[in-house]
Amino acid sequence: MTMNISHRVGCLSGLLILLAGCSQEDGSGSVQAGSRDRTGPPQVYVVNYPLQYFAQRIGGDLVKVVLPAPKDVDPAFWKPGAEAIAGYQQADLILLNGARYAKWVPKASLPRSRMVDTSASFRDRLIKIQDAVTHGHGPKGKHSHAGTAFTTWLSPTLAVQQSLAILEALQSRWPQHRAEFQGGFAALGKDLMALDQGMEDLLAKNEKNKSKPLFVSHPVYQYWTRRYGLNVKSVHWEPDAMPSAEAWKELERMHASHPAKWMIWEGSPIEAAVKRLEAMGIQSVVVRPCANRPMTSDYLQVMRENLGALSRVFAN
Ligand SMILES: [Zn+2]
C-alpha cells in the first residue's frame, strides 16, 4: 500500500518537473509588479480554505496565503466587498478553485495573468449538477447549486491535482524556492494520499460498503462519491434548521427506494432533526467539507476526523 502511495506521488513529481520547465517566463514579471511596494513575503490570495491550506503547506514561510472571507460564511457563496477585492487585485498570485466556484470572480476586475485555476487539469472531469434548485434555510439566505459541482477537494486525488497546480504556480513565479516548494508539496501529497488510502481501507472492510445506500444532507459530496463509487442520494438540508414538512415527505419517498441507514451532514445537525431521522432508522454522522477555516485544528485534522466518523458508517 505504501509503495502504491509513493508511486502515485512520484508520478506527480515527474509531471511537475515537466510543467515547471515550460511556464517560467509567465511568472517572473508579475512578481515584481505585485510586490514592489510591500515588504514581507509575496501574497497569495485564495477563494477557499482548502486552497489556503494547500498553498501554505507548499509555500511555507516563503509566501503569505490570504483568504479574506470571514470565518462564518461559505466562501463558495460569499461576495467580497471593495476592500477584499482590492486585496485580490494587488496579490502576487490568485488561486482559484475553478469548477465555477466563487461566482463573483468573473464579474470582478482581476489581473488575469496572476490568476491560476487549480482544477484546470481536470476540467473535463467536472461534474454537472442536474435538477438543482435554489434553496435557503436558516439565516444565511438562498443559494443555488445549479451548474457545476465545486467541492472538488473532497476527492483526495483531485486535491493532489489542485496542489500540483499550486506548486507549479509558485515555482514558476519564484523559481529560486523551487526545492522548498517541492518538499512542501511532497509532504502534502503524502498526507492527502494517506486520506485516500484511509477511505479505501474503510471500504475494503466489507464488500457491501460501496453499495450501501447513504443520504447526504447537501449536494456537496459529488467528487467524494465518484472517487469511491458510493451509493449516495442527496437532499437540500441545512444542519442548523429543521427541514420543512415537505422536505421530510420527500425524504420518506426517497427512503422507500433507497433504504439508507445514515445521513451524512456538513455540520453538526440540530437535535430535533437527528431524533426524527432516528425514528426512521437513519443515524446521523458529520463529514465536514471544510470550505472555510475550522474553529480549531486544520484541514488535515478535519479530514482525519471525517474518516473517523465514516468508520462508523462503513463498520465491518
Ligand atoms: Zn446549498
When pLDDT is cut at 50, 70 and 90, the band that residue 5 belongs to is: very low
pLDDT of amino acid 143? 81
Average pLDDT over residues 117-131: 93
Distance 23 CA to ligand 1 centre (A): 37
Q: Is the pLDDT of residue 159 over 50?
A: yes
Distance 265 CA to ligand 1 centre (A): 12
- Higher per-residue confidence, 38 vs 292: 292
pLDDT of amino acid 37? 62
Contacts 24+ apart (CB under 8 A), 273-282: 273/237, 273/239, 273/242, 273/243, 276/248, 280/251, 280/252, 280/255, 282/215, 282/255
Give the span between the Cα atoms of 94 and 65, in whole angstroms: 10
Q: Is the pLDDT of residue 274 over 90?
A: yes
Mean of the per-residue pLDDT values for the chain? 89
Instruction: Quick: pLDDT tens for 162-177.
Output: 999 999 999 999 999 9
Distance 74 CA to ligand 1 centre (A): 10
How many C-beta atoms lie closer than 10 Å to residue 223's C-beta?
25
Question: Is the pTM value of this prediction over 0.85?
Answer: yes
Q: Is the pLDDT of residue 4 over 60?
A: no
Distance 249 CA to ligand 1 centre (A): 19
Evaluate whether 63 touches 17 at the Cβ level (below 8 Å).
no
Average pLDDT over residues 279-306: 97
Residue 15 to residues 60, 105, 142, 195: CA-CA distances in angstroms? 22, 29, 41, 22
Distance 236 CA to ligand 1 centre (A): 6
Residue type, 27: G
Distance 8 CA to ligand 1 centre (A): 33
When pLDDT is cut at 50, 70 and 90, the band that residue 145 belongs to is: confident
